[in-house]
Every structure is written in structure tokens, then in C-alpha cells.
Amino acid sequence: MKVMHSTFLTSVLFVALGCFAVTSFAQERAVRIVKNEDLRRVDVFVDGQPFTSYVWPETLTKPVLYPLRTAQGTIITRGFPLDPRPGERVDHPHHAGYWLNYGDVNGVDFWVVP
């Protein structure tokens, strides 16, 4: 599980920096990472505002980024299955947050859900 966390956490940082680099060509943005293993999450803040969290809840078999927000703070990931919202579809429970879908990353399968 450690390899999965470090591989995925590296992806988190690239996504966070890449998304905000697009919106801030000439501006510098402060990125802060807050680790909380008791809550099974690592929160990513950009300019003091929440951007996403790398979470590995016991209800999921793989870590995901959830929720994912735009630079304006709008949540763009659906809530189901982690935090269902009224009127939201409840299909594809393996589509939680933002995740990798590669079959083999250093021996870790991100595609198949056991």
C-alpha cells in the first residue's frame, strides 16, 4: 500500500501544480500540504484555499483525490460514493473522486477494483 500511496501522492502534486499553473501564468501561488494520517487524508491548499484531498478511506480499496475544486472553489467531482448529494446518480461506486486508471504502475493495479 505504501507504493500506491507514494505513486499516487506524486500524481496529486503534479495535478495540483498543473491545474493552478494554467490559471496563474504570471502569478506565484503558495501550495501547502497538510498530512493527517488519523483521518486518512492529505489536504492540498493553494493560496490558503482548499484544492483537493488525497484520501484513502477504509470504504475504498484505492486512494483518490476528493473533492477536486476549481481555482474559484467550485467542486467538480461528484459526491457519490464518499459524500452523496441529493439528486446525484449512484452508479459506478468505483468512480470516486479523481483517480488513476492504469493497470500497472510499479506493480500496483489502479484499474481493477477487487
**Is 113 a member of any domain?**
no
Q: Considering only CA atoms, give the Rg of the chain.
A: 14
33 phi, psi to nearest 5 deg: -115, 125
Q: Count other Cβ atoms within 10 Å, centred on residue 49.
A: 11
Domain that holds residue 71: 1-107
**Is 114 a member of any domain?**
no
**Taking every pair of C-alpha atoms in the chain, what is the biggest distance, in angstroms?**
44
Query: How many domains is the chain partitioned into structurally?
Result: 1
pLDDT of residue 56: 93
Provide the pLDDT confidence category of residue 1 given band limits of 50, 70 and 90: low
Provide the pLDDT confidence category of residue 86 given band limits of 50, 70 and 90: very high
**Is 8 a member of any domain?**
yes
Cβ–Cβ < 8 Å for 83, 89: no
